[in-house]
Chain A
Amino acid sequence: MTGTAPTTDRHISPAVALRGTGAAARHVCTACGGDLGPADRPWKDHARCREIALHLAGGPAYDTGEREVFLRQFCCPGCATLLDTETAMAGDPWLTDRRAG
């Protein structure tokens, strides 16, 4: 699914929106319209996730000496836009943002 997001999209964030209604509603990337899965599932399940140790991701300013802290980057599988980031300890669940309706 590609194309410019229509104005009827309901944003979850500036980068991710819900398109369509009811059982047909899908998450989409607002940059390219790429599909990010059904509305009843977390959109991050359908993104590409890079989980990089913080000290490797951000250079010296982020090197705390700790090796168990990660920067998660969730990217659009279509256009590679970075949709969301999280800092996390290994194994901690992803944060989930949902839009009602």
Chain B
Amino acid sequence: MDPMTFSIIRHRLFRIVDEAVITLKHVSGSAITNEGHDLMVSLYRADGSLLMGGVGFLHHLTSAAEACKAIIRRFDGDIGEGDVFLLNDPYTAALHTSDIYLVSPIHVEGRLVAWSACFVHVTDIGAVNPGGFAPQAPDIFSEGFSSPGLRLVRGGEICRDVLDTILNMVRSPEMVSLDLRSMIACNNVARDRMQALFRKYGAQTVDAACATLIEQSEQLFRARLRELPDGSWQSRQYLDVNGTTARVVLTMTKTDDRLVFDFTGSDPQSAFSINCTKWASLGGLFAPLFPLLCYDITWNEGVIRPVTMIAPEGSIVNCTRPAPVSVATVGAIQSVNNAACTTIGKMLAASDRYRDEATAVWHANHFAIFKFGRNQRGGYSIGILTETFAGAGGARSFADGVEIGGEIPNPISRMANVETVEASFPVRYLFRRRAIDSGGPGQYRGGTGGEMALVPHKAPDGGIDYVISGKGTRHPMSEGLAGGWPGAPNAYVWVHAPEGGDGAPVVASDGLAALEGDHQRVSWGVYPLRGRDALYVRWNGGGGWGDPVTRDPQAVADDVAAGLVSPGAALAIYGVALDGAGGPDAPGTERRRAAIRAERLEQEAAQ
């Protein structure tokens, strides 16, 4: 094939995904989709293998491939033009029940030539708790509607009986209907553009280009791996839930042009819904792999081939039915994301050539708080606090992490405006801002996370309730690199207002400390936000890079001036003393840093 035609087809595939994403966002009415970008669109070959990974949450790219393959197996011989299939069973391919895949066959002249697949986190899935994350679910049966594959659209016509059955099982059916229709529209656009591409260049040419594209990715990825050092690197993540702690342990071994991700040593599956299935773990490790190792390589089946995953059956990263998994995406999957990010970062950092591509872990701990209840217009609202997507950047070998800088597994994640939330829910924000001391200390500091507080406002029922799936409040999860510290962990506080007051606090410019009342840490379950109480949330910062006592003292002073680092942390962790004007006190800093180094040397040899 001539290189120009190949290049045009390759770029056309990118644009098809882009246009489908735009369609999905424009049709969707859900903040989690069109504000938080909790979505994914990708293209697959006729056999279901990944052809063109799109944007959004990248841990869905491989799982949606498995969804296509599961549909092919189930409906073999009965897959028609204009059909759309739904799959959301985690033990078949999906990550959790509320992330619904819609996969659409693409036919040209009667022949199946490709698939498009997309997902959104639907507004509700009928689980025991509203919103899909179900911390109170003891098993998969309590986590809502779950299908290993069904036909939602036949020949371009929605199967009303199927749609109505689904909508009959969920809260907020009008929003779920819109979620599903946005995905149908998305797949329709992808299908139409793919058919146009095939018609313009011919099936044989496009098929050949697709095969070449996958082969090219495999060759490029293997070549990159050969440039990286052979070795093995480890990472460990802790997930605490209701007083229990589970570990995700990863040893990543790179040999020549192959990578093995071995989760042996991870804890057995949990009684709580933080578990994930093997397809979810596979997606979880690829989510950081694609952008960190293949930032200039097309994300497709060719990238998958050099990678092997070992995930012990019955463990938290390969649980067995009917273990609950509804919190997987912010539970074990995210820990797989983090662990893989750490080991890949370590490998890159060990390479003279690729060190600057390494990064400490970004936003490692989603908090998944779903608000629900009667809104200020008398209707019923369910929705996530999209600040969970705001994130924080990990530090690199040459720069600090980006403040509230998103996350690696979803390069387009973001949070909604405060006003968007206040328009949909009877709440008011007291503040939302960068959180002091949240970025992992280091020569280069991890990006700060954020903090915010909400109070009820004009709520017809006096407030609302929320489901919180906040594992990981006891453990930092954004690991640092090369001596950098982890970012500070998440915190969730229910502020019980004092008796006898009237009205909610108007402002709380001093943050949590200014919120009067009893402060109760919460992390898992369903809680009220009523009366004059407040909900305070702090989310984690990114990991740091390098020894904090080698950070430029002026940079530390600037951080203090900007409210990103406290004077106490500047002195205790960075060893930077400040003068009366807020600048670095050079003699004081030298003394303090010498003292820190002396304390380190006072320790016994490690073994």
A residues engaging B (CB < 8 A)? 10-15, 44-50, 54, 58-62, 64-66, 69, 71, 73-75, 77, 79-89, 92, 94-101
Task: Give the total number of A-B pairs whose CB atoms are below 8 A apart.
Answer: 152
Interface residue? B598 (CB, 8 A): yes
Q: Which 4 A-B pairs have the closest CB atoms?
A: A80-B597, A49-B606, A61-B437, A100-B230
Q: Which residues of the other chain, A, contact B441 by a CB distance below 8 angstroms?
A: 58
Contact of A85 among B355, B485, B569 (CB under 8 A): B485
The reply to whether A62 and B601 form a contact with Cβ atoms under 8 Å apart is no
Interface residue? B346 (CB, 8 A): yes
The reply to whether B482 and A75 form a contact with Cβ atoms under 8 Å apart is no
Contact of B603 among A49, A59, A85, A100 (CB under 8 A): A49
Contact of A14 among B232, B247, B397, B597 (CB under 8 A): B397
> How close is A89's CB to chain B, nearest CB, in angstroms?
7
Expressed in whole angstroms, the Cα–Cα distance for A100 and B253 within the complex equals 10
Interface residues on B, range: 35 or more
The reply to whether B605 and A77 form a contact with Cβ atoms under 8 Å apart is yes
The reply to whether A59 and B489 form a contact with Cβ atoms under 8 Å apart is no
Expressed in whole angstroms, the Cα–Cα distance for A50 and B208 within the complex equals 58
Interface residue? B480 (CB, 8 A): yes
The reply to whether B349 and A48 form a contact with Cβ atoms under 8 Å apart is no
With contacts A13-B481, A82-B548 known, is A62 near B489, CB below 8 A?
yes
Expressed in whole angstroms, the Cα–Cα distance for A101 and B256 within the complex equals 12
Q: Which residues of the other chain, A, contact B144 by a CB distance below 8 angstroms?
A: none
Residue of B at shortest CB range from A64? Answer: B474
Interface residue? B26 (CB, 8 A): no
Contact of A98 among B231, B240, B474, B484 (CB under 8 A): B231
Contact of B600 among A13, A69, A80, A96 (CB under 8 A): A80
Expressed in whole angstroms, the Cα–Cα distance for A15 and B598 within the complex equals 19
> How close is B472's CB to chain A, nearest CB, in angstroms?
10
Residue of B at shortest CB range from A73? Answer: B600
Interface residue? B186 (CB, 8 A): no
The reply to whether B605 and A48 form a contact with Cβ atoms under 8 Å apart is yes
With contacts A73-B600, A99-B229, A100-B255 known, is A85 near B486, CB below 8 A?
yes
The reply to whether A97 and B229 form a contact with Cβ atoms under 8 Å apart is no
The reply to whether B572 and A59 form a contact with Cβ atoms under 8 Å apart is yes
Could you jot down 8 A-B contacts, CB within 8 Å? Answer: A48-B604, A50-B600, A58-B573, A64-B473, A64-B475, A81-B483, A85-B480, A95-B236
> How close is B529's CB to chain A, nearest CB, in angstroms?
22
Q: Which residues of the other chain, A, contact B483 by a CB distance below 8 angstroms?
A: 15, 73, 81-85
Please indicate which of the listed interface residues A60, A61, A66, A101 has the most CB atoms of chain B within 10 Å of its own CB.
Answer: A61
Interface residue? B435 (CB, 8 A): yes
Q: Mark B236-272, 1 if CB is under 8 A from A, else 0.
A: 1010100001010000000100000000000000000
Expressed in whole angstroms, the Cα–Cα distance for A74 and B483 within the complex equals 8
Residue of A at shortest CB range from B484? Answer: A85
The reply to whether A82 and B521 form a contact with Cβ atoms under 8 Å apart is no
Expressed in whole angstroms, the Cα–Cα distance for A11 and B479 within the complex equals 20
The reply to whether B485 and A71 form a contact with Cβ atoms under 8 Å apart is yes
> How close is A42's CB to chain B, nearest CB, in angstroms?
8
The reply to whether B474 and A65 form a contact with Cβ atoms under 8 Å apart is yes
> How close is A87's CB to chain B, nearest CB, in angstroms?
5
Expressed in whole angstroms, the Cα–Cα distance for A48 and B473 within the complex equals 28
Interface residue? B491 (CB, 8 A): yes
Q: Which residues of the other chain, A, contact B349 by a CB distance below 8 angstroms?
A: 11, 13-14
The reply to whether A87 and B479 form a contact with Cβ atoms under 8 Å apart is yes
Q: Which residues of the other chain, B, contact A54 by a CB distance below 8 angstroms?
A: 476
> How close is B326's CB to chain A, nearest CB, in angstroms?
24
> How close is B157's CB to chain A, nearest CB, in angstroms?
54
Q: Mark B461-498, 1 if CB is under 8 A from A, else 0.
A: 00000000000011110011111111011010000000
The reply to whether A65 and B397 form a contact with Cβ atoms under 8 Å apart is no
Contact of B234 among A15, A49, A96 (CB under 8 A): A96
The reply to whether B350 and A13 form a contact with Cβ atoms under 8 Å apart is yes
The reply to whether B231 and A69 form a contact with Cβ atoms under 8 Å apart is no
Q: Which residues of the other chain, A, contact B245 by a CB distance below 8 angstroms?
A: 89
Expressed in whole angstroms, the Cα–Cα distance for A77 and B606 within the complex equals 10
Q: Which residues of the other chain, B, contact A86 by a CB distance below 8 angstroms?
A: 236
Q: Which residues of the other chain, B, contact A69 by a CB distance below 8 angstroms?
A: 238, 474-475
> How close is A69's CB to chain B, nearest CB, in angstroms?
6
Interface residue? B219 (CB, 8 A): no
With contacts A49-B603, A71-B485, A75-B601 known, is A11 near B232, CB below 8 A?
no
Expressed in whole angstroms, the Cα–Cα distance for A67 and B473 within the complex equals 13
Contact of B601 among A13, A48, A61, A65 (CB under 8 A): A48
Expressed in whole angstroms, the Cα–Cα distance for A47 and B229 within the complex equals 23
With contacts A87-B475, A97-B233, A99-B229 known, is A11 near B351, CB below 8 A?
yes
Q: Which residues of the other chain, A, contact B92 by a CB distance below 8 angstroms?
A: none
Expressed in whole angstroms, the Cα–Cα distance for A60 and B607 within the complex equals 31
The reply to whether B601 and A77 form a contact with Cβ atoms under 8 Å apart is yes
The reply to whether A11 and B352 form a contact with Cβ atoms under 8 Å apart is yes
> How close is A53's CB to chain B, nearest CB, in angstroms?
12
Interface residue? B566 (CB, 8 A): yes
Contact of A59 among B476, B568, B598, B605 (CB under 8 A): B568
> How close is A34's CB to chain B, nearest CB, in angstroms?
11
With contacts A13-B346, A50-B600 known, is A87 near B607, CB below 8 A?
no
The reply to whether B476 and A87 form a contact with Cβ atoms under 8 Å apart is yes
> How close is A10's CB to chain B, nearest CB, in angstroms?
7
Residue of B at shortest CB range from A94? Answer: B606
Please indicate which of the listed interface residues A11, A46, A87 has the most CB atoms of chain B within 10 Å of its own CB.
Answer: A87
Residue of A at shortest CB range from B548? Answer: A82
